[in-house]
Amino acid sequence: MLDFRPDEEQKMLTETISRYTRERVRKVYRDAEEDGEIPAALVRAGWEIGLLPTALPEEYGGFGDYSAVTGALALEEFAWGDLAVTLYVMTPNLVAIPVLLCGTEEQKASYLPRFCDEAPPRVTAALTEPAVQFSPYKLKTTAVRDGDEYVLNGSKTFVPLADNAEMILVYANEDGITQAFIVPTDAEGVVVGDRNKLMGIRSLPANLVTLNNVHVPASSKVGGETGIDFSLILNHSRVALGAAAVGMARAGFEYARDYAKERVQFGEPIAHRQSIAFMLADMATEVDEARLLVWETAWMLDQGQDVTREATIMKQQVDRMVMQVADRAVQILGGYGYIREYPVELWLRNARGFATFDGLAMI
């Protein structure tokens, strides 16, 4: 029966994450953004919450309770703290979840237990390409079969933590279909290039990666001969990003709401005026609506349904929502909204990214 109330376990999980974001992330995220670096201890503490191991089955060393709905709840809470920190902590998911969803039995057995260790493996994934017209279903990076090997060629961008990675899950176009390949960074022809200079999420190191005739064994193709169900992986990513956008938008709404109650002009708090109060009402309603769209898509994923249509509709709406909410948060703060001492300008910069962050988060 229809119900919109998280259960006790989910509440405990979000409460744990919320404590982490309030007591740790929010203390340092602004400096991290200016410095372009997130303190290692903060990342470790985030990993220790154990989100990924709880999503992996027992046979691979996890706690065996995968749920996209729970993942969405967790991601919203994480991203309320800070988006870059969230993407940093969750980078191992970019490999673990696709392998869990589409890997062969052998691939699962060999990779997944490593994600249940105390420290996460140094892995990342590369989907986005440096182009104006980017479509994850029509990648320009190619994979060509050559005997019992694949040869990869192309350029990737926004590859988080690539600098420090031992392995990259590379998405490439094989005969018009997007497939994924496990590529060691020390393979010949893999070049981790410059760090991306981005408008937002500046504390997350991300790099360009080029692949020049990189040879990998055929067995490194995720899912073996049949390959992956790329829509399924992309849909999981869209749920994750949608949830993160909701969390960040909620942060913006809450900040603007509290500010509007404090800031006095013309002898009264500005929130006493309808033009401000109605903006806040719209923000609250649109955040709630977006969350429901994310939850529904996540729930359908958990039911094993194909959500390609729903995920597209949801993601486009969430992307619009997060921009509008972040923009209005800046507006409500007036001149202060434009100053980097206040967080809202950061949320506006981050918000614009969601439309291009496909594949940058995964649950």
Partner 1 sequence: MISFEIPPFIQNQLQMIRMVAEQAMRPYSRELDENEHERPQAFVQMTWPFTQQMVKSSLKPLMAQANGNGSNGSNGSAKPKREGPDFNMLSFIMMIEQLSWGDAGQYLCLPHPMLGGAAVDSAGTPEQRVRFLKKFTEGDPKWGAMAITEPGAGSDNSAMRTTAVLDSDTNEWVLNGEKVFITNGALALKESDGLCVVWATVDPSAGRAGIKSFVVEGNTPGVTIAKQEHKLGIRASDTVALHFDNARIPYENMLGEHSPQPTESRKGFQGAMKTFDASRPAVAASAIGIARAALEFTKDKLAEEDIVIDYTKSLHELTAVERDVIEMEARYKGAWLLTLRATAHMAHGESNRLEASMCKYRAGDAVTWITQKSVELLGPKGYTREWLVEKWMRDAKINDIYEGTKQINQLIVARSILGYSRRELK
Question: Can you tell me which of 219, 263, 299, 336 binds partner 1, judged by CB under 8 A?
Answer: 299
Binders of partner 1: how many residues, by CB under 8 A?
48
Tell me the window of 81-89, 114-122, 274-282, 339-347 that interacts with partner 1 (CB under 8 A).
274-282
To 5 degrees, how large is the angle CA 354–CA 357–CA 361? 105
Q: CA–CA distance from 126 to each of 156, 173, 213, 225, 307 (Å)? A: 6, 13, 16, 21, 23
Per CB under 8 A, does 324 bind partner 1? no
Q: Whole-angstrom Cα distance, residue 23 to residue 170?
A: 36
To 5 degrees, how large is the angle CA 245–CA 254–CA 43? 55
Contacts (CB under 8 A) with partner 1, residues 187-216:
none
Per CB under 8 A, does 1 bind partner 1? yes
Question: Can you tell me which of 37, 212, 285, 340 binds partner 1, judged by CB under 8 A?
Answer: 285
Q: How far is the CB of 261 from partner 1 (least distance, A)?
A: 6
Per CB under 8 A, does 280 bind partner 1? yes
Q: Which amino acid is at 66?
A: Y
Structure tokens at 270: 């500005």
Q: Are strands 149-160 and 142-146 parallel, antiparallel or unpaired?
A: antiparallel
Q: How far is the CB of 336 from partner 1 (least distance, A)?
A: 19
Counting every residue, how long is the chain?
A: 363
Per CB under 8 A, does 288 bind partner 1? yes
Per CB under 8 A, does 289 bind partner 1? yes
Question: Can you tell me which of 161, 204, 208, 290 binds partner 1, judged by CB under 8 A?
Answer: 290
Tell me the window of 87-95, 237-245, 268-276, 325-333 that interacts with partner 1 (CB under 8 A).
268-276
Q: CA–CA distance from 22 to each of 26, 55, 66, 189 (Å)? A: 5, 24, 26, 43
Q: How far is the CB of 320 from partner 1 (least distance, A)?
A: 8
Q: By C-beta, is 30 or 320 nearer to partner 1?
A: 320
Closest CA to 252 of 354, 158, 159: 354
What count of other Cβ atoms lies within 10 Å of the Cβ of residue 95? Answer: 27
Sign of CA dihedral 57, 95, 121, 17: negative
Contacts (CB under 8 A) with partner 1, residues 107-146:
132-138
Furthest-apart CA atoms within the chain: distance in Å = 78
Closest CA to 101 of 139, 56, 141: 56
Per CB under 8 A, does 282 bind partner 1? yes
Q: How far is the CB of 283 from partner 1 (least distance, A)?
A: 9
Question: Can you tell me which of 212, 226, 265, 308 binds partner 1, judged by CB under 8 A?
Answer: 308
Q: CA–CA distance from 217 to each of 122, 278, 296, 308 (Å)? A: 20, 58, 39, 31
Per CB under 8 A, does 257 bind partner 1? yes
Q: By C-beta, is 310 or 345 nearer to partner 1?
A: 310
To 5 degrees, how large is the angle CA 89–CA 91–CA 94? 145
Question: Can you tell me which of 184, 313, 334, 339 binds partner 1, judged by CB under 8 A?
Answer: 313
Q: Whole-angstrom Cα distance, residue 152 to residue 144?
A: 7
Sign of CA dihedral 131, 198, 231, 213: positive
Q: How far is the CB of 214 from partner 1 (least distance, A)?
A: 26
Q: How far is the CB of 229 from partner 1 (least distance, A)?
A: 12
Per CB under 8 A, does 5 bind partner 1? yes
Q: How far is the CB of 41 from partner 1 (least distance, A)?
A: 33
Per CB under 8 A, does 7 bind partner 1? yes
Binding site for partner 1 (CB under 8 A): 1-7, 10, 69, 132-138, 231, 257, 260-261, 271-272, 274, 277-278, 280-282, 284-285, 288-290, 292-293, 295-296, 299-300, 308-309, 312-314, 316-317, 320, 355
